Amino acid sequence: MNYDSAYERVTQLKKFYKNLLWFGIVTGIIFFNDFFENGKFDFSLFDGSVILVIWGIILTVKAVKLFLLDTEWERGIIEKEMKKNKKSIHF
């Protein structure tokens, strides 16, 4: 891994962790606010729960992209495809 790709990966990880931290803070505020107002956790469309679900899905997609489908995975798939397409030379 060269410097540029490592720097890009660190930048993406930093953005992801910041986003994850903000998600946790906002989720805590919304749910604890509901708990203190109603005495129970209420999953409602109008209290921001749907926004949290959508935000959570986006974070999940970003996590899969960052941790599972990273450059090492991509390089492995490229090498595997290149090996498939190699044809032996028969003399």
**In the chain, domain spans:** 13-70
Higher pLDDT, 26 or 84: 26
Please say whether the beta carbons of 45 and 51 come within 8 A. no
Task: List the structure tokens of 85.
Answer: 């397409």
- What are the tens digits of pLDDT across the range 29-79? 887 877 777 776 666 655 667 888 888 999 999 998 888 887 777 778 778
pLDDT at 90 over 70: no
pLDDT at 1 over 80: no
Residues found in the chain: 91
